[in-house]
Amino acid sequence: MRISFDEMAQAFFEDESLELSERVGKALVAKAKTMKLSFGKNILPNARVSHHLTKFSSDSSISFETGRLDSIEKEHPELHDEVEYAREKFTGFNMRAGSLQRSSNYNQLSDGAIWGGGWGGHANPDFGAIVNIGTDGVREKIAKYRQINTDDTEGFYRGCELAMEALDILGERFHELAVKMAEECKDEKNKKRYELAAKAFEVIPKKPAYDFTSACHAFWMVFTFDGIDSPGRFDQYMKRAYDLTTDKEELNDILTRLWEEFHNWRVWNLCLSGSDENWNDETNGLTYDILRIAREKLYQTPNITLRVHRNTPEELWQVIADTLATGIGMPALYNDEIVCPAFEKIGIPPCDSHDYCMNGCNQIDIMGKSHMGLEDGEVNFAKALEFALNNGVNTYTNQLIGVVTGDITKFETYEEMENAFMIQLEFLIYMSCLAANSHQQMRATYGPNPYRSCLIEGCIEKGIDYRNGGPLYNHGQILAEGIADTGDSLWAIKKLVFIEKKYTMAQMKEALDAHFIGYDEMYRDFSSCEKFGNDCEEVDNITAKITNRFFTVLKRHHTYRGGVFTGGCSTFSRAADYGRNTGTLPDGHIKGSVLLADCVGAVPGCDTNGPTALIKSVLKYNHIDSGSGFIFQIKLDKKIINTPKGKASMIALAKTFFAGGGQQFTVTVVNPEELIEAQKNPDQYRNLIVRVGGYSDYFVNLEKGLQDNIIARTNIEV
């Protein structure tokens, strides 16, 4: 029986005796032959696989949409038998692929406490492989290692070959389309663009690109076919083609058009600059050109990150300040002096640690050499504290879903309270890693991706798929939320109950259960205790201690893919959700409030002693133990930062932070009053950009809880 209305499904189910990798490859070839192609208004080759009945995406490999079969049968009753055959095949495969389930109480914990698994994650394939060696170069690599790895790898290598065949088919079809469009085009500028595209596709993707225009066409085709994720170290793998280009007008034209596509398709993380293993700076002309276009366009996407280190040129520092001063919230800055040693601690040598880049919001990957989750899960510290305060009970559901750690009213020392929290935290870490590994196993078993396996080092060399431990590095990343809220709360308990003995644990518990209603004096006392972010040694040490425990415990857990879990802190847009799903806490957080720490800094508005104090607090963490983005966000006044003195002060602030051992530095530049006005009159502030939790976005597009969180951030004057 055929599935005539879905060429990808037909190819996938045609011979079920083949290994899944080869079947996915056959589906990609079928799609490449029949999918609708376009160059779009920016005349770049869009090869994104549209999601119809059969889906193929970078994060989920192949899957099938059964819900649309009814409409097909209704429109084409003559296809009844084919539809029923497809329904049987689709349902059977989807059921097998979903058979590896999370633990039974995951759903209860996922309501504000953790999440784990659930999607395939971001990645940084080496798109430069197609740009710089072409599909023929990849095929040579396949042929070499196929002779070495002869045990049960034939299906894997056939899938890889078919993935490269799909790219070649797309290249041939784009060449035909470009020739046709050039002949029909009446606009001279666009006609020339089509002619250059046609010329490029005479060579790419089989052979290396010969200039920057051909490189951009090769990159955009393979990038969109991958699913439109994160370009990674774009200024590094495109440098060869950039340097070969002498026509600067043509270069600027193609880069500008590519930038428009980045923005239109909401491309994720593009990483610039950095150092090599000998600390030589890798900034180049393309680095500066990209930052120039970012200042000209003032888009909130793509998410630009930039690596700095001991030898970063002063010229680049000035351009960084100029770009941030525009208010786009980019580039986010990462410190090679911390990130590289962090990866070396988990076994990644300097030759590869210095090839790191970011993807998604700010998770960290090794360009073209790893599959490190990005991200695998999340743990809400504040919810762990809520469980500890309530003997494992979730105050939203009154269900026991945490660990029984004891009645806090009977605790006689602070250490008992802290220990109860640590037990709850370790439980949530375990559950998040367990859920992540269940998901990893499902992806490895039913979601092979021969396409990405061709573009990530280690897969072809081992004969193992990208999802099943093929890459050189297969670590995982679990993110932390509500860190400062928890540290503030634990310090308030220690100070008021066990040091000053102003209140008993029983009195505090009564006030928390009443959400401080009728306990005004207690609320003032607890909420006014010293807060993290003000260089207060007691609260800073507690906050650092619980975070360092998080990092330590994570590394005890191994990923299904074959690495260890590491930690980071990136709230994305979830800080407000975690806040509203957290119960009343001793720091003054009231059940349901959206206010929650949205980075490794203070709870928004609680850092009141200036930037130096805030930085000193944040540097109490051991940043070198973080294997993912450990996000530090500050808000600077636009009126100040747009002066030479203000820019110099911002550079000095960033350098001080990095010299002290900080990993990441992110800036929102805005007039404080603008945020309040934008919330009241959104139509007048459509272009106002803010930094959220690892990415930039238009302020008026954010939900109100997240807007409130950003407004509450302390405005720092440098």
pLDDT bin (cut points 50, 70, 90) of residue 133 is very high
Contact 591, 515 (CB under 8 A): yes
Q: What is the pLDDT of residues 227-260, one digit of tens each?
A: 899 999 999 999 999 999 999 999 999 999 999 9
Summarize the confidence of residues 311-317 as an average pLDDT: 98
* Separation of alpha carbons 331 and 283, rounded Å: 14
* Separation of alpha carbons 148 and 157, rounded Å: 12
Helix (H) or strand (E) holding 647, with range, is helix 644-659
C-alpha dist (Å) from residue 325 to 273, 313, 452, 646, 716: 19, 19, 37, 9, 14
Q: What is the pLDDT of residues 272-302, one digit of tens each?
A: 999 999 999 999 999 999 999 999 999 989 9
pLDDT bin (cut points 50, 70, 90) of residue 694 is low
682 Cα distance to chain centroid: 28
Summarize the confidence of residues 1-14 as an average pLDDT: 93
Residue 269 is classified by DSSP as E
Find the angle CA(657)-CA(385)-CA(626) to the nearest 5 degrees.
Answer: 30
Query: How much is the pLDDT for 399?
Result: 92
C-alpha dist (Å) from residue 341 to 115, 236, 626: 28, 21, 10
**Neighbouring C-alpha atoms within 13 Å toward the C-beta of 239:** 12
* Separation of alpha carbons 519 and 531, rounded Å: 21
Nearest 5°: phi and psi at 304?
Answer: -85, 130
* Separation of alpha carbons 209 and 186, rounded Å: 28
All structural domains of the chain with their residue ranges: 105-121+372-603
* 204 token code pair: 């790419």
Helix (H) or strand (E) holding 130, with range, is helix 128-132
Q: What is the pLDDT of residues 375-406, one digit of tens each?
A: 789 999 999 999 999 999 999 999 999 999 99
Query: How much is the pLDDT for 704?
Result: 78
3-state secondary structure of 460: helix
Contact 641, 669 (CB under 8 A): yes
Provide, for the chain, the percentages of residues in helix, strand and coil under a 3-state DSSP scheme, each rounded to the nearest 5: 50, 10, 35
For the chain, the distance separating the N- and C-terminal CA atoms, rounded to the nearest angstrom, is 71
pLDDT bin (cut points 50, 70, 90) of residue 51 is low
* 633 token code pair: 């966000």
153 Cα distance to chain centroid: 31
* Separation of alpha carbons 494 and 283, rounded Å: 49
* Separation of alpha carbons 319 and 613, rounded Å: 27
Position 716 pLDDT exceeds 60? no
Tell me the pLDDT of the chain averaged across its residues.
Answer: 92
Radius of gyration of the chain (CA): 27
Range list of β-strands (E), 510-595: 565-569
Query: How much is the pLDDT for 93?
Result: 87
* Helix-helix angle 188-200:212-226, to 10 degrees: 80
Instruction: Mention every residue, 6+ apart, whose C-beta is less than 8 A from residue 701.
Output: none
Ramachandran assignment for 393, one of left (phi > 0), alpha (psi -120 to 50 degrees), beta (any other): beta
